[in-house]
Amino acid sequence: MEYIFRLKNGQDLRKSIEEYVISHNIVNCVIVCGVGSLIYANLRLADGKTIKNFNNHYEIVSLMGTIAKGKSHIHISLADKDGLCIGGHLAYNNIINTTCEVCLITLANYELEREFDEKTGYNELTIIEKGK
């Protein structure tokens, strides 16, 4: 099943996506795209530890991720006024400027879970194919 929804100025992008998923009883899904803009960005960078704040106008040029039983893993790429890009893991407190249009697809043939992986130190995606 597909879902598309629009978020508005002032909303927290990650929190709002998670709230939408819960309110629509979506258990597992992928975020296939998101377009819009942010006025404030809060990203975890590639070292897996550093969270950096960006306070400016940004266009969302890529938004994708997975949500497994309410637990999200979302990445975002943003372009500034000069077209320069930043990106990383979407933390909380990413504030929408004008709008953000989000498209989700549920996974009828798979169950997704997150389990702690001692090697990575993160809750990693576990994929279970239904009927197998």
Instruction: State yes or no: pLDDT of 131 exceeds 90.
Output: no
As a whole number, the mean pLDDT across the chain is 96
Instruction: State yes or no: pLDDT of 132 exceeds 80.
Output: no
pLDDT at 130: 87
Length of the chain: 132
Q: Is the Cβ–Cβ distance between 110 and 128 less than 8 Å?
A: yes
DSSP annotation string for 80-109: -TTS-EEEEEE-S--EEEEEEEEEEEE-TT
Residues pairing with 113 in the sheet? 126
Q: Is the Cβ–Cβ distance between 67 and 113 less than 8 Å?
A: no
pLDDT at 70: 86
Q: Is the Cβ–Cβ distance between 89 and 11 less than 8 Å?
A: no
Q: What is the token pair recorded at 85?
A: 């890009």
Q: Is the Cβ–Cβ distance between 1 and 32 less than 8 Å?
A: no
Q: Which CATH class is domain 2-129?
A: alpha beta
> How confident is the model over 51-104, as pLDDT tens digits?
999 999 999 999 999 999 989 999 999 999 999 999 999 999 999 999 999 999
pLDDT > 90 in the chain, percent: 92
In the chain, domain spans: 2-129
pLDDT > 70 in the chain, percent: 99
Q: Using CA atoms, how far apart are residues 99 and 37, in angstroms rounded to an integer?
A: 6
